[in-house]
């Protein structure tokens, strides 16, 4: 599946981690649903859940991971068992020719999927930013700042730290802070990482 990721997201390590975490969440959710009915048989269910994930169109790119790797859609078992028209009209020679054409066009197919994913990301960012209400802080306001990932020891760690006092508004949503004891915080903070502190 590394081919699939690189075809869509390039070599960006952060993107790869997010993609893998997202895929793992979906696979775990599928396994949990299956195991509610068949307890103790998780080893037999893993291939089925992975196959289902690989042959299901993803919402962001509207393509299946299988098709992005192999250049064509997979024939799922139910199509063979129920003798679908795709199965009944299968001709090996035609299929081999079509597969060669699909593999020739695979790079374009991946590029199109990458563009779809990027367009969706931009739409989501635009929708998010259009709903944001900018926060205006004044000098001497008490604020909380969003915790850095390294400050989070576990899932129950507080997501905000503080309170801190605003000492200077620099414009464009940037602020200088200090601790309540007067200790200077060395860098500036953006308003998106701050919120009002109410005691």
Average pLDDT over residues 90-95: 70
25-29, 70-74, 78-82, 176-180: least confident range: 78-82
pLDDT, residue 5, reads 43
4-8, 17-21, 183-187: least confident range: 4-8
10 torsion bin: left (phi>0), alpha (psi -120 to 50), beta (else): left
Radius of gyration for the alpha carbons in the chain, expressed in angstroms and rounded: 25
pLDDT in tens, 163-182: 899 998 888 888 999 988 88
Q: Looking up tokens 């064509």, which residue turns up?
A: 72
Average pLDDT over residues 39-59: 77
Can you read off the two tokens belonging to residue 170? 């620099």
Q: What pTM was computed for the model?
A: 0.42
Domains observed in the chain: 2-131 (no CATH), 142-196 (2.30.30.140)
pLDDT, residue 8, reads 43
pLDDT, residue 180, reads 87
pLDDT, residue 3, reads 42
Q: Strand, helix or coil at 130?
A: helix
pLDDT band at residue 27 under the 50/70/90 scheme: confident
pLDDT band at residue 31 under the 50/70/90 scheme: confident
Share of the chain above pLDDT 70, in %: 77
Can you read off the two tokens belonging to residue 69? 């790797």
Average pLDDT over residues 6-35: 63
Share of the chain above pLDDT 90, in %: 1
Average pLDDT over residues 4-25: 55
C-alpha 11/C-alpha 16 separation (Å) is 8
pLDDT band at residue 6 under the 50/70/90 scheme: very low
């Amino acid at each position: 599946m590394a081919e699939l990721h690189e075809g869509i997201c390039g070599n960006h390590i952060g993107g790869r981690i997010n993609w893998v975490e997202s895929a793992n969440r979906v696979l775990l959710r599928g396994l949990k649903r299956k195991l509610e009915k068949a307890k103790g048989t998780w080893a037999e269910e893993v291939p089925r859940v992975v196959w289902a994930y690989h042959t299901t169109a993803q919402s962001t790119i509207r393509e299946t991971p299988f098709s992005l790797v192999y250049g064509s859609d997979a024939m799922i078992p139910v199509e063979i068992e129920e003798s679908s028209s795709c199965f009944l009209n299968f001709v090996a020679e035609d299929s081999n020719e079509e597969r060669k054409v699909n593999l020739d066009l695979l790079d374009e197919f991946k590029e199109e999927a990458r563009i779809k994913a990027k367009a969706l990301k931009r739409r989501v960012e635009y929708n998010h930013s259009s709903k944001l209400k900018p926060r205006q802080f004044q000098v001497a306001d008490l604020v909380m700042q969003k915790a850095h990932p390294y400050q989070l020891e576990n899932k129950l760690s507080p997501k905000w730290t503080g309170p801190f006092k605003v000492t200077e508004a620099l414009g464009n949503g940037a602020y200088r802070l200090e601790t309540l004891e007067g200790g200077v915080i060395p860098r500036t903070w953006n308003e998106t990482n701050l919120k009002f502190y109410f005691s």
